[in-house]
Amino acid sequence: MTASSVDDGLNPHGGPIFPRGHALLTNSLLNKGTAFTERERDTMGLRGLLPPRVFTIEEQLHRVYGNFRRKPDALEKYIFLTTLQNRNETLFYKLVQEHAEEMIPIIYTPTVGQACLEYGAIFRQPRGLFISIRERGRVAEILRHWPHPDVRMIVVTDGERILGLGDLGALGMGIPVGKLSLYTACAGLHPCYCLPITLDVGTDNTKLHEDPLYIGLNQKRVRGAEYDAFVQEFVEAVQQTYPKALLQWEDFGNTNAFRLLHQYRHRICSFNDDIQGTASVALAGIMAGLRLAGGHLRDQKLLFFGAGEAGTGIADLHAATVRLEGLSEAEARARCWFVDSQGLVVRSRLGKLAGHKVPYAHDHPFVATLAEAIETVKPTVLIGVSGQARAFNRDIVARMAALNQRPIIFALSNPTSKAECTAEEAYQWTGGRVIYASGSPFPPGTFGGQPYVPGQGNNVYIFPGVGLGALVCEATQITDEMFLTAAKTLASTVTAEDLALGRIYPAISNIREVSIQIAAAVAEEAHRAGLARRPRPADLVEDIRTRMFEPNYRDYV
């Protein structure tokens, strides 16, 4: 983001004083590499430190894109991009913005999952802050070690539930780094406002304890009162050090994610993307999908395979939405059913259910399998959030197709290796009738001579716009109504041309415009609810657009 003056707090450059010489070349936010002009080379002490030819950013882009394409696999491309980001952030974001559909799956899902697994082995340069529980009592001091004093967006994880890969401890830092890269690439948040953080409290992954390259604390996870005191110190330190920052909770385990969200959402401007962002993007997909399938949202019956953060988050937002359409709370919750690792979530299991599942434990006979649940519940929408690859086999998908003319099937588990079924399988097993979305991208295909483009129900469509909208109006809270507004806005951006291809989300190449529309809608909701600290501009969309970071070099002299 940029701004016209320092006074509004949105100008990332506090003055015209810049480092010189080698220090300038090693500052990733300021470095232009071979694009420094002749005058800049003389004035900034760069003469001789660079080869003599001056390149434009377009010429540099041509070079780095060619180097990217020559990398042999996705992980090598990820390493190349992170190295470029650490050297020249403007050029990095120029590359990502120009080739979004190709780059986003590398810097985020699905490749970031493999990168996290390999994070210790591919570690080159630290990015963000690693705050371990051994630093209790010093968290505010550590936050002040970050070189940028006006942080506005923090993505924090404790690494316990990284995508569908489980407890990766400190290796999970790849997620906050990737998410914040998307904030800049997809929503124009200036990178100097972004701070990725890992809270290292240990790991219960015994394989990491035995790994000589593991970068985190080699101990079991700290839990209970000590963990809670550490997190409380962290939140209070953020409020003290970065009072305008928005805090995004990311990839915490189920036991902590729900309670931390409820404990802190009214104390600091914050949200949990796994719960609320996933809910919003899934709801948007259902809304858009019903333009193909027909029917009303309030009449749909949703069956979730997986009853963790993502599934119950989707159910909560869906229930809130259909209540606005006239259903009672009991009727709204009765539209959502869950199958967890033990079977159908029903009232006879109440004594053994986690608290977040209890509202969806219906008075119904217990069945043990997903196939039986489909037969008895007769869902119109099947949503996979289980992390169990290929759980939607031919029999499961065929059962959905037998019940529905246009079955809606979302295989949302990430990364690709954890998807409940592929797009090709879903189309083949339903005779091309499926309305499909996945968490990670699948390639386009054809069925019966007709092309299809699978929708990607990825949170990248939601969280950058929500965060941007909250920041531009300086919201004091992130509410469920904001995520509902974001879902409706996202669904409205799906065009007739998208639907003709079976795509229920817009093309990722349009992501910045989608983020602008969502940001404006979220800011409008914040103003409506009295949660905005900045005055409302006459034209919200134009105000947001003009304040977004664009990856172009600035002049130093």
Q: Which residues are catalytic?
A: 108, 179
Distances (CA, A) of 485 to 283, 332, 521: 11, 18, 7
Extended strands (E) in 439-553 = 445-447, 450-452, 455-456
Alpha helices in 99-243 (DSSP H): 100-107, 111-117, 119-122, 139-143, 174-187, 206-209, 224-241
Lookup: tokens for 418: 């954890």
For 35-43, which contacts have Cβ atoms below 8 Å and span 24 or more sequence positions? Answer: 35/60, 35/553, 36/556, 37/555, 39/557, 40/555, 40/556, 40/557, 43/556, 43/557
* Longest Cα–Cα distance in the chain: 79
What are the residues facing 303 on neighbouring strands? 337, 382
Distances (CA, A) of 173 to 117, 141, 167, 179, 243: 11, 20, 12, 10, 23
CA distance 8 to 548: 14
254 contacts 354 by C-beta, under 8 angstroms: yes
CA distance 256 to 160: 9
Distances (CA, A) of 484 to 253, 328, 436, 468: 24, 18, 21, 16
481 contacts 502 by C-beta, under 8 angstroms: no
What are the residues facing 197 on neighbouring strands? 129, 156
What does the DSSP 8-state code read for residue 257?
A: H
CA distance 252 to 215: 19
413 contacts 419 by C-beta, under 8 angstroms: yes
| H helix or E strand, kind and range, residue 303 | strand 302-305
Distances (CA, A) of 354 to 131, 311, 382: 29, 13, 22
The residue written with tokens 């004594």 in the block is 351
Residue 448's Cβ-count burial label (10 Å; 0-12, 13-18, 19+) is: exposed
What interhelical angle do 480-492 and 278-293 show, nearest 10? 40
Helix, strand, coil percent values for the chain (each to nearest 5): 50, 10, 40
Distances (CA, A) of 319 to 97, 298, 312, 446: 36, 9, 10, 35
For 293-321, b where at least 16 C-beta lie within 10 A, e where not — what string? beeebbebebbbbbbbbbbbbbbbbbbbb
